[in-house]
């Protein structure tokens, strides 16, 4: 395929509900952006980057992408590159458009087309890359597939070029470049630290994945890759504390659910437990946290029963006894 017809306007008599939906879809995003990205302040602006990165992370979770690079360039232009499968360019039957254009211009079409691979890395709002397109002054996407490089450009969510075949390509992957729309956001100034903190967290949560963040203006670069995954995360959190055990790690897969825990005790009085589900920090906790806490208390209780010769009732380990100072206090008292 050399190129495709970028003219979105249906010919006379070709209007269908689907065409109308496409237009309404992204117009709705520009009309009420907060419904899709939370707000149009600093948080919403940075969310645009995470939304694109989430798509790349999905390619990593599906076993394809190994490297992701995020850079902040001149004029608040963000570039996100990955070495995943790339976005398909074949004509998508339902819409008559290329799959690439469908992914970029139809709301909630950010996910994959088959049921085998679906979005697992949830963004804050998990709305898909079309929302980023809708809220960008311009966006250019490049996709490498089957030895060819393709490119398409959009302005405020509308395709302004066809999907063009640019030339031959080695490997596969996706590059998304966009400039957030100053008509939508209070400010389009990105902060390296906000992006770097979340990207580092994503690198901890996805062991082995390289995620690089660059500030093209200052030259500041952070190359994140943690072979230790959660173990490295716990060690990072305890870096300025006084650890008193090694970091330990458990992992179990049941069906399509994978659970991973890493923990390390420090001298501190308060415990710090961070929980995540599909890469999202679940700050309000949930069953995963409740389950972990009760399993830990039960394990300490069972250990105490097995090693003190006392009965379950006499040991009476409470939730608070999970914490090191409380454990020490009890040991001192011989209780």
Residues between 227 and 286 that touch ligand 0RA (CB under 6 A): none
- Reduced to 3 states, what is the DSSP secondary structure of residue 198? helix
CA distance 173 to 274: 32
Q: Note whether 103 binds ligand 0RA by CB under 6 A.
A: yes
Strand partners, 178: 78, 139
Q: Note whether 137 binds ligand 0RA by CB under 6 A.
A: no
Q: Which stretch binds ligand 0RA (CB under 6 A): 69-77, 82-90, 118-126, 236-244?
A: 82-90
- Reduced to 3 states, what is the DSSP secondary structure of residue 276? strand
Q: Which stretch binds ligand 0RA (CB under 6 A): 3-11, 43-51, 78-86, 194-202?
A: 78-86
List of E strands, the chain: 67-72, 78-82, 91-92, 97-98, 136-145, 148-155, 158-159, 164-168, 173-180, 210-215, 221-224, 248-254, 257-263, 276-277, 280-281
**Candidate residues 44, 69, 78, 85; the one interacting with ligand 0RA per rule CB under 6 A:** 85
- The minimum distance between CB 31 and ligand 0RA, in angstroms, equals 24
Q: Note whether 152 binds ligand 0RA by CB under 6 A.
A: no
Q: Which stretch binds ligand 0RA (CB under 6 A): 26-34, 84-92, 232-240, 293-301?
A: 84-92
Q: Note whether 82 binds ligand 0RA by CB under 6 A.
A: yes
- Distance from the first to the final alpha carbon of the chain: 76
**Candidate residues 47, 97, 112, 322; the one interacting with ligand 0RA per rule CB under 6 A:** 112
Q: Cα–Cα–Cα angle for 60, 81, 145, nearest 5°? A: 75
Nearby residues of 256 by Cβ (< 8 Å), 6 or more positions away: none
**Candidate residues 25, 33, 88, 229; the one interacting with ligand 0RA per rule CB under 6 A:** 88
> By C-alpha distance, which of 178, 184, 190, 185 is closest to 46?
190
Residues between 54 and 73 that touch ligand 0RA (CB under 6 A): 55-56, 59
Q: Note whether 174 binds ligand 0RA by CB under 6 A.
A: yes
* Contact positions vs ligand 0RA (CB under 6 A): 55-56, 59, 82, 84-85, 87-88, 103, 112-113, 129, 174, 176
């Amino acid at each position: 395929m050399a190129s495709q017809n970028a003219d979105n306007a249906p010919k006379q008599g070709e209007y269908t509900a689907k065409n109308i939906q496409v237009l309404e879809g992204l117009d709705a995003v520009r009309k009420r952006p907060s419904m899709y990205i939370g707000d149009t302040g600093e948080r919403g602006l940075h969310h645009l980057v995470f939304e694109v990165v989430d798509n790349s992370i999905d390619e990593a979770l599906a076993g394809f992408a190994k490297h992701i690079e995020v850079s902040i360039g001149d004029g608040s232009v963000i570039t996100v590159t990955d070495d995943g499968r790339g976005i398909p360019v074949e004509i998508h039957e339902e819409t008559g458009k290329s799959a690439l254009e469908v992914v970029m211009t139809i709301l909630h079409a950010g996910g994959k087309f088959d049921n085998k691979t679906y979005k697992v890395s949830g963004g804050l709002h998990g709305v898909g890359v079309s929302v980023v397109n809708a809220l960008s002054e311009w966006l250019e996407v490049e996709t490498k597939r089957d030895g060819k490089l393709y490119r398409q450009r959009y302005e405020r969510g509308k395709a302004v070029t066809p999907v063009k075949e640019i030339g031959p390509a080695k490997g596969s992957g996706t590059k998304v470049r966009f400039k957030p729309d100053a008509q939508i956001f209070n400010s389009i100034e990105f902060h390296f630290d906000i992006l770097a903190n979340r990207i580092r967290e994503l690198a901890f949560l996805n062991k082995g994945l390289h995620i690089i963040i660059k500030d093209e203006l200052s030259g500041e670069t952070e190359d994140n890759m943690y072979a230790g995954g959660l173990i490295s995360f716990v060690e990072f959190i305890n870096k300025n504390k006084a650890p008193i055990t090694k970091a330990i790690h458990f992992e179990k897969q049941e069906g399509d659910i994978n659970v991973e825990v890493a923990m390390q005790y420090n001298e501190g009085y308060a415990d710090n437990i961070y929980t995540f589900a599909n890469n999202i920090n679940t700050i309000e906790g949930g069953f995963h946290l409740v389950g972990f806490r009760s399993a830990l208390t039960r394990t300490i209780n069972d250990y105490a029963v097995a090693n003190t010769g006392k009965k379950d009732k006499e040991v009476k380990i409470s939730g608070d006894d999970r914490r090191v100072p409380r454990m020490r206090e009890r040991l001192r008292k011989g209780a």
